[in-house]
Each structure stands twice: as C-alpha cells, then as structure tokens.
Structure 1
Amino acid sequence: MKIGVPKEIKNNESRVGMTPAGVFELIKNNHTVYVQQDAGFGSGFFDTDYAVVGAILVPTAAEVYANSDMIVKVKEPVAEEYPLIKKGQIVFTYFHFASSEELTIAMLESKSICIAYETVEETDGSLPLLTPMSEVAGRMAIQQGAKYLEKPIKGRGVLLGGVPGVPPGKVLVLGAGIVGIQAAKMAAGLGAHVTILDINMKRLRYVNDVMPSHVVTEFSSEYNIRRHIKNHDLIIGAVLIPGAKAPKLITRDMLKEMHPGTVMVDVAVDQGGCFETTVATTHENPTYIIDDVVHYCVANMPGAVPYTSTLALTNVTLPYVLKLANLGWKAATERYPDLSKGLNIVEGEIVYKELAETFNFS
C-alpha cells in the first residue's frame, strides 16, 4: 500500500503522524511511504531521518495526498486539506467529528474512509489510541493551570504546592478517566489538595486505592460541583463520552460563584468541551477571561510537547497502521473488532452511531 504522511498545518501543531522508526517498519513490510518535506521537523525528526529508512520525500501536501492510498495524520484535516482527500482514500487520524459539523459534512462529501483514533476501542472499553495523548494532556493540564494561576497572567496568584505555613492550592478534577487520573497525579505531586469527581464508583475506588491521602474522591453531581467550585483554585474538565459531545458540567452562571482568578482547563475541548463557556483556543492565544475566570481551552494540548507526543502516539498507532496497510481497511476492520470501532465515515455514510446522533444524521 502507498501511505502518506503530510505536514500538520493546524495552528501550532508540531506533531507528525509517523516517526522514522514507524516508516522503517512500514517499508520493511513492503509498503511505500510518502513524507512531506519538513513534516517531522517540529517533533525533532528531519528529512534525512526519513530518507535513510527509505521514505519518498515530496515537497507539497498535494503530492502526498495524490500518491497515497492511506493518509496517516495527527489532527483532523482543516479546510484547505478537504479538496486533497480522494474518494476511497483511508484517512487515519484524530477526527473528533462531534465538535465540528463542517468537518463531518466535508468528509461525507469526500467519499473517503475516515478511521478515528479516538474511537478505536478494545473489548474492555479502553481507547488505546486516545490513551497516550490523554496521558500527555492530563499532565499538561496541571502544568498549564499552575502557570495561569500566576497573577501577572490574571490568575488568582496561588502556588499549587503552597509553602510551610501556607496551605496548598486546591484542584478540582471532573472525571476519573485517563486524563483525570494523570492530572490528579501531577497536582498531587506538586503538593496540591485534589478533589476528583466521577459517576463511576469503580473508577473512584481505583483512584482512592492508588492516590495519596491528599487526593480525595466524591461522586459527581451538580450539587457537589457547585459546592466545590466556590473554594477550588484550578478546575480541570476531563470528561469523555467516546465519539459524542462532552456534557456541560459547568454552566455560565456557575462562574459567578468562583473566586476571581480561578483557572479552568477544559481537556474535553476536542469533543465540544465540558464547560458551557468553552471556546476552542490555540497555543498562540491559549486563554480568555469570562467573569474574572481564566479559561484555557487549547484544542491540541499535546502539540506543545511534540517530541514526547509523537513518540507516544506512534507507539500505539503503528500496529493499526500495519494492519490496515497489510490487509486493506475492509479485511482489517472485519478481522479486528477494536479497529472496526474506529470507522466513523465510509464513502459518504456515517457508520458510527454516536456521531449520527450528534448531528441527527440518519
């Protein structure tokens, strides 16, 4: 199969869909790989690294798309890429269709095969291709939140770890999935007091078993959320419903109950966000303020640490890319149920139930 790796062009997205090591494995399996020049530069991988393992380097994205049966990316195609996608072409990437009707319609019209990393699902319900980026985003949420709590950036002026004689900052984590647990781990490591809410008691029991005593768990309800937002300094939105829009757990009216300078980080922004006031931002302009509450809603948080993120992503995507390349998408999705869950759009038809329900497509 001919596989293409274009350069990512979303704002401040420096990751790349495949490392040179991944390209090496594909070529070893007798596939041809086209890599756009400088595609890996932002992640610390250079054209010579790809050339030495046998990749064919081409100057433009148009040439990558034109020559390839399958496109391997990181982020969803943007408007200028829509016309490049061919009928019957496999596009394997993070799509997060539920947050963009425009993207959904464009991919329907392209008649391509859209396989979304974020909905590939194993029998135990885990999401293997979302997990590493969730781990990165969860850890980054605390790193960024701690920074934006600083007063010069309009935060409350709280040091999360506190100092002797001064209590630590308080972090509220909504959701005890991969993102939430990684966020809680990082916040706890800094010495903050952490409260983590979820409706899944199994997850809460797990958190209670593995976290230190200054991480406490509570069942998630609107009552408990309203109670905690009044005295927490940093709020992390870490709720995920695979393939569907995130629920709005913090509404606009709740902002007035928070301390001025409270920071909210919405890691669910790719799925529409779990704050009613969420608007997707970029690394270039990451924050905005509503009712004196700082919102950080960057839609590609792991893109800020592309070397780490690209390596972590290729570790998990490469086995699936090989299955698709070796067998073709039909045989691969028939043989591997986890990969079949990744099918969202096939030649002009939505085949993922939650996506069809999001936009009321029949």
Structure 2
Amino acid sequence: MIIGVAKEIKNNENRVALTPAGAQELVKRGHEVFIQSTAGEGSGFMDEEYTEAGAKILPTIEATYEKAEMIMKVKEPIEPEYNLIKKDQLVFTYFHFASYEPLTNAMIDSKAICLAYETVEKSDRSLPLLIPMSEVAGRMSIQEGAKYLEKPLKGRGILLGGVPGVRPAKVLILGGGVVGTNAAKMAAGMGADVTIMDLSLPRLRYLDDIMPANVNTFMSNEYNIRELISTHDLIVGAVLIPGAKAPNLITRDMLKEMRPGTVLVDVAVDQGGCIETCEPTTHENPTYIIDDVVHYCVANMPGAVPYTSTLALTNATLPYAIQLANKGWKKACKENKELELGLNIINGDVVYKAVAEAFNLPYTEVSKYLN
C-alpha cells in the first residue's frame, strides 16, 4: 500500500502521525511510505531520519494527498485539506465528527473512507488510540491549570500544592476515565486537595483503592457538582462518550457560583466540551474569561508536547496501521472488530450511529461494505 503522512496545518499542531521507526516498520513489510517535507520537524524528527528509515519525501501537502492510498494524520482535516481528499482514499486520524458538522459534510462529499482513531474500541470498551493522548491531556490539564491559577494570568493567585501552614488548592475532576485518572494522579502528586467525580460506583471504588490519600471520590450528579464548584479552584472536564458529543455538566449559570479566578480546563473540547461556555481555543490564544472565570479550552492540548505525544501515538496506532496496509481496509476491518468500530464514513455513507444522530443524518450499517 502507498501511505502518505501529511504535515499538520492546524494552529500550533506540531505532532506527526508516524515516527521514523514507524515508517521503517511499514517499509519492511513492503509498503511505500511518503512523508511531506518537514512533517516531523515539530516533533524533533528530520527528513533525513525518514529517508534513512526507507521513506520518501514529498515537497507539498498536495503531492502527499495525491500519491497516497492511505493518509495518516493526527488531527482532523481542516478546510484547506477538504478538497485534497479523494474518493476511496483511506484517511486514518482523529476526526471527532460529532462536534463539527462542516467536517462531517465535507467528508461525506469526498466519498473517502474515514477511520477515526477515537472510535476504535476494544471488547472491554476501552479506546486504545484515544488512551495515549488522553493520558497526555489529563496530565497536561493540571500543568496548564496550575499555570493559569497564577494572578498575572487572571487566576486566583493560588499555588496548587500550597506550602507549610497554607492549604493547597482544591481541584475538582469531572470524570474518572483515562483523562480524569491521569489528571488526579498529577494533581495529587503536586500536593493539591483533589476530588474526582464519576457516575459509576465500581469505578469510584477502584479509584478510591488506587489513589493517594489526598484524592477523594464523589458521585457525579448536578446537585453534587453545584455543591463543589463554589469551593474549588481548578475544575477539569474529563468526560467522554465515544464518538458522540460530550454532555454539559457545567452550565452557564453555574459560573456565577464560582469564585473569581477559578480556572476551568475542558479536555472534552474535541467532542464539543462538557462545559457549556466552552469554545475551542488554540495554544496561541489558549484562554478567555467569562464572569471572572478563566476558561482553558485548547482543542489539541498534546500538540504542545509533540515529542512525547508523537511517540505515544505511534506506539498505539502502528499495529493498526500495519493491519490496514497489509490487508486493505475492508479485510482488516472485517477481521478485527476494533478497527471496524473505527469506521465513521464510507463513500458518503455515515456508518457510525452517534455521528448520524448528532446531525440527524441517514445511518448506514457498516455491514453493507464489509459483507
């Protein structure tokens, strides 16, 4: 198969979909790998490293899309890329369709095969291609939250871990999944007073067992959220419904119950956000303020630590990319249910129910294409 790796063009996105080591593994198996020139530089990988691994360099994004049967990316295509995507081309990347209708419509019109990292799902309901970036984003949410709690950045002026004789900051984490667990670990390690909320009692029991003494668990419901937001300094939204829009757990009216300088970090922004006042921001302009509450809603948080993120992502995606390249997408998805669940749009048909429901679009059973 001919595989193309395009350079990411989203604002301040420095990750790349494939490391030189990953390229070498695909080349070893007889595939051709084409890397757009300088695609890896933001993550610390030079063109020469890719050519030494057996890949070939193409000068432009247009040439890369034109050449490839499978495009590997990190972030969803943005408007300048829509017309570059061809009929029957396999695009393997994060899409987060349910949060952005224009992208969904563009990919329907392209007649491409859209296989989304975020909906590849194991039998235990875990999301293997979302987990590495969720781990990064969860840990970063505390790192960034701690920074924006500083007074010059309009926060409350509180040190996350406190000092002897002074109480630490109080951190509230909405969601006990991968993002929430990593956020809680990081916040606890920095000495904060942490509360993590979830709907699942078994999950709360598990977290209660593994977390240090400065992490408390609490059942998630509107009453409890309203009770806690007025006393917490940093609030992290870490809720995910695979392939669907995140629910609004913090509504506009709740901001007035928070103290001035409270910081909100919405890690669910890629899926529409779990904070009603959340609007996607960039690393260039990461925050805005509503009712004296600081909102940090960067849609590609792991892009700020691209070396770590690119390695973590390739570790997870490469085994699936090899299956797709070796067998073709139809056979690979038919033989691997995890990959089948990654299919969102095929030749203009929406084959992932949550995406169809998000925009009231016709839904087509994926079996139409795999049988």
Do Structure 1 and Structure 2 share a fold, with TM-score over 0.5?
yes
Deviations 1:61-99 (A, max 9, x none): 110011110000000001000010000000000000011
Kindly indicate whether residue 263 of structure 2 is the aligned counterpart of residue 226 of structure 1.
no
Task: Report SS of the residue matched to 1:176.
Answer: coil
Aligned-partner Cα distance in 2 for 1:278–1:252: 10
Aligned-partner Cα distance in 1 for 2:212–2:140: 20
Map 1:269-348 to 2 at 5 A: 269-348=269-348
Kindly indicate whether residue 357 of structure 2 is the aligned counterpart of residue 351 of structure 1.
no
Aligned-partner Cα distance in 2 for 1:32–1:200: 46
Deviations 1:207-255 (A, max 9, x none): 1000011100011000000000000000000000000000000000000
Instruction: Work out the number of aligned pairs and report it.
Output: 362
* CA root-mean-square deviation: 0.4
Q: Tell me the equivalent position of 1:150.
A: 150
Offset at residue 5 of structure 1 (A): 0.2
Q: Tell me the equivalent position of 1:25.
A: 25
Map 1:1-362 to 2 at 5 A: 1-362=1-362
Task: Report SS of the residue matched to 1:289.
Answer: strand
Aligned-partner Cα distance in 2 for 1:307–1:138: 17
Letter in 2 for 1:217: T
Q: Which runs of 4+ in 1 moved over 2 A?
A: none
Aligned-partner Cα distance in 1 for 2:14–2:202: 37
Offset at residue 202 of structure 1 (A): 1.5
Aligned-partner Cα distance in 1 for 2:112–2:191: 48
Aligned-partner Cα distance in 1 for 2:92–2:176: 28
- TM-score normalized with structure 2 length: 0.97
Offset at residue 42 of structure 1 (A): 0.2
Letter in 2 for 1:71: I
Offset at residue 53 of structure 1 (A): 1.1
Offset at residue 13 of structure 1 (A): 0.1
Letter in 1 for 2:80: E
Aligned-partner Cα distance in 1 for 2:55–2:164: 56
Offset at residue 153 of structure 1 (A): 0.4
Q: Tell me the equivalent position of 2:367.
A: none
**Unpaired runs of at least 5, structure 2:** 363-371
Offset at residue 54 of structure 1 (A): 1.2
Deviations 1:125-166 (A, max 9, x none): 000000000000000000000000000000000101000000
Aligned-partner Cα distance in 2 for 1:360–1:82: 22
Aligned-partner Cα distance in 2 for 1:159–1:360: 46
Task: Report SS of the residue matched to 1:103.
Answer: helix
Q: Tell me the equivalent position of 2:369.
A: none
Task: Report sequence identity in percent.
Answer: 69
Aligned-partner Cα distance in 1 for 2:249–2:210: 26
Letter in 2 for 1:209: D
Aligned-partner Cα distance in 2 for 1:202–1:354: 26
**Unpaired runs of at least 5, structure 1:** none
Aligned-partner Cα distance in 2 for 1:155–1:197: 23
Letter in 1 for 2:227: R
Deviations 1:290-328 (A, max 9, x none): 000000000000000000000000001000000000000
Aligned-partner Cα distance in 2 for 1:74–1:203: 30
Aligned-partner Cα distance in 2 for 1:123–1:8: 31
